[in-house]
């Protein structure tokens, strides 16, 4: 399905870029990175594009709010939306991701509907927010590092490998877990009910496994170690789609806007929470 939607991803990418290229500037988050992922994801799920106005505020709360109650209510709102769509799919099955999840089998047994709703809700919230922020961090890095941009402009075949290196350097998701029992860990007493947050970006910045980890090297030997998408049973199921969206952005942006920079007089805005966020990024280029 990812391969099948690449043409649509490319078409939407080109249309968005061409919409602001002649202006010589854009606010990257609101004009690009917040638009492309949700258009792609809602299209894959065969959901109305206008529903993004209802869904995006909930995704923002889940990713950024420090208030557990607000996050809980935002998740319930997304689940209620998915449940309505699932109810419709039961009566009117379609060739889309929601119908596939609803009718999936695990070890030969049809998936429980509650699990299907939870899985689709998780996929929806991830599709609305994490790719947006990854695109923001990648664009910010390249705007500040013209030599890296020139490297990709001169050698577009580097883009797939460079995408992995950008993912290593800019992991955005931070996974939290609740302790189920008391225990000692590395001399620290941990209590049942404590919450521990693992910063997944640090895996790709560990100098014991990555040489010069703070340096972005588009020629770094493969495989490039990181946990930007998690690992094992917790690996993000949307990782291939995320990588494809960033690759297509680079492939279509760089031939059209090969030299760009942070707009003079502006400062990129970032926040750290469950998802590291780029909330404002003004870019500028000569026309």
* Alpha carbons within 13 A on the beta-carbon side of 100: 8
Quick one: pLDDT at residue 57? 87
pLDDT band at 276 (very low <50, low <70, confident <90, very high): confident
**pLDDT tops 90 at residue 267:** yes
Quick one: pLDDT at residue 175? 78
**53-104: pLDDT as tens digits:** 888 888 878 777 788 899 899 999 999 999 999 999 999 998 888 899 999 9
Rounded CA separation 211/194 (Å): 34
User: CB of 58 within 8 A of CB of 124?
Assistant: no
Rounded CA separation 91/100 (Å): 14
Q: What is the CATH number of the domain that holds 249?
A: 1.10.630.10
Quick one: pLDDT at residue 192? 95
**Rounded mean pLDDT of the chain?**
90
Quick one: pLDDT at residue 139? 98
Asked whether the bond before 223 is cis by omega within 30 degrees of 0, the reply is: yes
Give the other-Cβ count within 10 Å of 79's Cβ.
Answer: 20
**Overall average pLDDT of the 242-259 stretch:** 95
**106-126: pLDDT as tens digits:** 899 999 999 999 888 888 877
Residue 142: burial class (beta carbons within 10 Å; 0-12, 13-18, 19+): buried
Q: Is 152 helix (H, G, I), strand (E, B) or coil?
A: helix
pLDDT band at 14 (very low <50, low <70, confident <90, very high): very high
**Overall average pLDDT of the 264-287 stretch:** 91
**pLDDT tops 90 at residue 46:** no
Distances (CA, A) of 246 to 37, 78, 80, 134, 216: 10, 25, 30, 8, 16
Residue 216: burial class (beta carbons within 10 Å; 0-12, 13-18, 19+): middle
H/E stretch holding 175? strand 174-178
**pLDDT tops 80 at residue 273:** no
Rounded CA separation 164/281 (Å): 22
The total of structural domains in the chain comes to: 1
Rounded CA separation 76/121 (Å): 9
**pLDDT tops 90 at residue 184:** yes
**pLDDT tops 80 at residue 1:** no
Quick one: pLDDT at residue 125? 75
**Residue range of the domain that includes 198:** 2-284
pLDDT band at 174 (very low <50, low <70, confident <90, very high): confident
Quick one: pLDDT at residue 96? 86
**Overall average pLDDT of the 184-196 stretch:** 92
Quick one: pLDDT at residue 277? 87
Least confident of 18-27, 181-190, 235-244, 267-276: 235-244
Rounded CA separation 251/189 (Å): 49
DSSP string, 80-134: HHHHHHHHHHHHS--SSHHHHHHT-EETTEEPPHHHHHHHHHHHHHHHHHHHHHH
């Amino acid at each position: 399905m990812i391969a099948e939607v690449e043409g649509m991803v490319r078409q939407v990418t080109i249309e968005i870029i061409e919409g602001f290229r002649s202006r010589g500037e854009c606010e990257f988050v609101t004009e690009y990175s917040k638009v492309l992922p949700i258009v792609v994801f809602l299209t894959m799920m065969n959901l109305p594009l206008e529903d993004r106005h209802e869904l995006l505020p909930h995704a923002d709360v889940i990713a950024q709010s420090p208030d557990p109650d607000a996050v809980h209510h935002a998740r319930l709102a997304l689940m209620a939306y998915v449940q309505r769509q699932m109810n419709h799919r039961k009566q009117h099955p379609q060739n889309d991701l929601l119908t596939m999840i609803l009718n999936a089998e695990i070890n030969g047994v049809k998936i429980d509907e509650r699990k299907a709703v939870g899985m689709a809700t998780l996929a929806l919230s991830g599709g609305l927010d994490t790719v947006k922020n990854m695109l923001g961090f990648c664009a910010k890095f390249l705007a500040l590092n013209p030599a890296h941009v020139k490297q990709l402009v001169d050698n577009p075949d580097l883009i797939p490998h460079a995408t992995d290196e950008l993912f290593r350097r800019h992991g955005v998701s931070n996974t939290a877990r609740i302790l189920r029992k008391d225990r000692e860990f590395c001399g620290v007493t941990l209590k049942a009910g404590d919450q521990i947050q693992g910063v997944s970006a640090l895996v790709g910045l560990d100098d014991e496994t990555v040489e010069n980890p703070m340096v972005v090297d588009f020629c770094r030997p493969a495989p490039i170690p990181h946990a930007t998408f998690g690992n094992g049973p917790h690996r993000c199921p949307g990782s291939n789609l995320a990588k494809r969206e960033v690759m297509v952005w680079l492939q279509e942006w760089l031939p059209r806007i090969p030299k760009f920079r942070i707009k003079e007089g502006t400062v990129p805005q970032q926040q750290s929470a469950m998802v590291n966020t780029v909330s404002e990024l003004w870019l500028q280029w000569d026309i």
